[in-house]
Amino acid sequence: MIYVILGIFGLIFGSFYLVVATRLPEGESIVKPGSHCDNCKHMLAWYELIPVISYILQKGKCRSCGAKIPFLTVLIELITSASFMLSYYLFKFDYMFYVSLILFSLTIIIFISDFKYYIISDSPLFTAIILVLGLKFYFFGFKAFYLAVIAGILMFLVLLLIKLFGDKAFKKESLGGGDIKLAILLGVVLGIKLGLAAFILSAFIAFPYAIIVSIIKKEPIVPFGPFIISALLIVFLNMDLFSKLISKYFML
Ligand SMILES: [Zn+2]
């Protein structure tokens, strides 16, 4: 039963994330106008807002003008739903569960907005950072909260340094402003050691992608945000493994 409820919540949140990820980079409000067909601006009635089910009932088309609703919207709702259920399966209602929800949610938003617009919007990112800090305080008290703040600031400074060196070395922007702000979340969630591990991992995942893109496109732009947040998620879900690897190979 709990899976059904979380699954439905996931669908609803998923359709909200889609709005957040596509409207914020365009400078639009996320509440006004309400959900509408992008083609004919027909405002959706409440029963057309029910994720997935309305899509199936309307056979993937706008009820008013018949324009196709992108399947991607349904896919994003389903992925969000699955991630909510997976978080509960892995962690039950623990501190890790809530952080897992936040990270999956932000991952979905960043994947859409950074790949599509090359932008990581501030408000979802800072909402995530504040929520995680709040959870730290609630579950572990002031000291954990304080250490997480310090780790966030340090990770930010480390990536800022890497950016400044990178910009000089490559004579163009190496890391975007959004990527550096994302470092705060790395530090807050994982601490310094695991945060750095996640950053290195993200570079490893991004590297093959960057090569492929530079072969295919003339002016390659590689959004780094999706790789950082993916690496954060991977390290977060396998924290024990990465802690062991670090102490084994770096003796930290
Ligand atoms: Zn329409």
Instruction: Give 231 Cα–ligand 1 centroid separation in angstroms.
Output: 38
Residue in this structure with the two tokens 């949140």, named with its chain if needed? 13
Let me know: does 135 contact 246? Beta carbons within 8 Å.
Answer: no
Instruction: Give 64 Cα–ligand 1 centroid separation in angstroms.
Output: 5
Q: Give how far Cα 135 sits from Cα of 94, 130, 200, Å.
A: 10, 9, 26
Instruction: Give 40 Cα–ligand 1 centroid separation in angstroms.
Output: 4
| The pLDDT value given to residue 146 | 95
Instruction: Give 79 Cα–ligand 1 centroid separation in angstroms.
Output: 25
Instruction: Give 36 Cα–ligand 1 centroid separation in angstroms.
Output: 8
Instruction: Give 4 Cα–ligand 1 centroid separation in angstroms.
Output: 31
Let me know: does 35 contact 44? Beta carbons within 8 Å.
Answer: yes
Instruction: Give 82 Cα–ligand 1 centroid separation in angstroms.
Output: 28
Helix (H, G, I), strand (E, B) or coil at 99: helix
Give every CB contact of residue 186 below 8 A, 6+ residues apart in sequence.
152, 155, 195, 198, 199, 228, 232
Strand partners, 36: 43
> pLDDT digits over 185-233, tens only?
999 999 999 999 999 999 999 988 888 888 887 777 778 899 999 999 9
Instruction: Give 38 Cα–ligand 1 centroid separation in angstroms.
Output: 7
Instruction: Give 120 Cα–ligand 1 centroid separation in angstroms.
Output: 29
Instruction: Give 46 Cα–ligand 1 centroid separation in angstroms.
Output: 15
Let me know: does 65 contact 42? Beta carbons within 8 Å.
Answer: yes
Instruction: Give 68 Cα–ligand 1 centroid separation in angstroms.
Output: 8
What mean pLDDT, rounded, does the chain reach? Answer: 90
Instruction: Give 105 Cα–ligand 1 centroid separation in angstroms.
Output: 28
| The pLDDT value given to residue 252 | 65
Give every CB contact of residue 247 below 8 A, 6+ residues apart in sequence.
none
Q: With a cut of 70, say whether residue 110 has pLDDT above it.
A: yes
Q: Which two tokens stand for residue 50?
A: 């029910």
Instruction: Give 75 Cα–ligand 1 centroid separation in angstroms.
Output: 20
Instruction: Give 70 Cα–ligand 1 centroid separation in angstroms.
Output: 12
Instruction: Give 123 Cα–ligand 1 centroid separation in angstroms.
Output: 29
Q: Rounded to the nearest 5 degrees, what angle is found at the Cα of 203, between the Cα atoms of 113 and 224? A: 15
> pLDDT digits over 111-159, tens only?
999 888 888 889 999 999 999 999 999 999 999 999 999 999 999 999 9
Cα–Cα distance for residue pair 152/131, rounded to 1 Å: 14
Instruction: Give 8 Cα–ligand 1 centroid separation in angstroms.
Output: 25
Q: What's the CA dihedral at 12, 16, 17, 22 to 10 degrees?
A: 140
Alpha helices in 141-238, H assignment, sequence order: 142-170, 177-216, 225-237
Whether the full predicted model's pTM is greater than 0.75, yes or no, is yes
Instruction: Give 65 Cα–ligand 1 centroid separation in angstroms.
Output: 4
